[in-house]
Amino acid sequence: MGSYQSTFTIKRLWIFLALSVVIMFSTLLWMGREIYQVAPPIPNAVVTSSGDSLYTKDNIQNGQNIWQSTGGMQQGSIWGHGSYVAPDWSADWLQRESLILLDEIRRNMRLPNLEKEIAEQAHLAALRSEMRSNTYNPDTGIITVSLGRALAIRGVQSHYDKLFRAQGEEYLKLRQDYAMPLHAVLTPEETHDLSAFIFWTSWSASTQRPGKNITYTSNWPHEPLVGNTPTPSTLLWSIVSFILLLAGIGAIVWYYAKQYDIWRDDIEPENGLAKTDFIDTATITPSMKAVAKYFWLITALFCAQVLLGILTAHYAVEGQGLYGLPFVDYLPYSVSRT
């Protein structure tokens, strides 16, 4: 092997940079295209089996805009993307809807002749069949849900209506736990549309892709009630990527250690290592002293930035306080609203 300079010439470094950029951006563009092509459909309407309309496409899209206007990714998350102070709304809706629907299935699907555990397994199987079945009609753009599921959807919507409108002490305390802004309440129409959007994200997370046994979000978020568990490919590629990462780091370290003695001369400065510290003999000029004012100003601005960061971070985590100190009390507000 040659020296460092002969191994890593300017031409070779430019070629390496160009190839890296082409490969990485080609991968990103290809993956972006795939994600766009297989994105979950936004339905024209969500209707019950009896023909009643629950949500429209306009409700869902307007609900997304409302979610973004209320803080979006800083106030909870969707499909795991965003802040984790408030819940992941997709997962929250999915679990609440599943629990309500499961209770409805238990009431309507009585199996007195079976053991309790076997009967519960039958109820869970019925729940998963209901939640994972893809009833989206690509010709009409309509999602059809059963009357039982419609009941569960309305139940979760009622919960969200009270939460986002701050109705009652229970929901005021829940908003405090979620660090939601105190006065950021919505109108009934806005909560309806926001519920439509969150329902659609939950529907996408629990509904299987046509011809496949995974959901539109590859079984994310995790919810055992509806069979949302990691797929074998997810586990496999997680292991493979981890092994490749360690192998790549190991190869770089091995190559550097192997070449270190050969490259030692290139690492040292041309005139050798310094024998003294030239700063010790430097003369401080008036212009250098004048620059000190600039550094003091920058230091002050940096400290102000840190303090503002602390303030905004704690308001994001605590909602209305700083290190547990309540700057705004919930009780007067709750009394006035109730």
Residue 71 class from Cβ within 10 Å (0-12 exposed, 13-18 middle, 19+ buried)?
middle
Give pLDDT, residue 332: 43
Domain that holds residue 234: 230-261
Task: Count structural domains, the chain.
Answer: 4
- The answer to whether position 283 is within a domain reads no
Of residues 199, 194, 191, the one with CA closest to residue 166: 191
Query: Can you read off the two tokens belonging to residue 221?
Result: 């978020």
- The answer to whether position 290 is within a domain reads no
Give pLDDT, residue 324: 67
**Residue 203 and residue 249 in one domain:** no
**Residue 212 and residue 237 in one domain:** no
SS3 70: coil
Final residue in a domain of this structure, among 205, 229, 253: 229
**Residue 219 and residue 240 in one domain:** no
- The answer to whether position 101 is within a domain reads yes
Final residue in a domain of this structure, among 177, 208, 229: 229
Of residues 31, 294, 320, 4, the one with CA closest to residue 178: 320
**Residue 121 and residue 81 in one domain:** yes
Query: Can you read off the two tokens belonging to residue 239?
Result: 């292991």
**Residue 164 and residue 94 in one domain:** yes
Long-range contacts of 101-110 (CB under 8 A, 24+ apart): 101/127, 101/130, 101/131, 101/148, 101/149, 101/151, 101/152, 102/127, 102/225, 104/148, 104/151, 104/152, 105/130, 105/148, 108/148
SS3 224: helix
Beta strands in the chain (DSSP E): 45-48, 53-56, 77-78, 81-82, 136-137, 142-145, 321-322, 325-326
**Residue 26 and residue 62 in one domain:** no
Distance CA 243, CA 237 (A): 10
**Residue 225 and residue 240 in one domain:** no
- The answer to whether position 271 is within a domain reads no
Q: Which residues of the chain have pLDDT under 50?
A: 328-338
Measured between alpha carbons, how far is residue 253 from residues 16, 45, 94, 257 in Å? Answer: 19, 57, 46, 6
**Residue 199 and residue 320 in one domain:** no
Measured between alpha carbons, how far is residue 58 from residues 46, 54, 190, 197 in Å? Answer: 11, 12, 12, 10
**Residue 113 and residue 142 in one domain:** yes
- The answer to whether position 274 is within a domain reads no
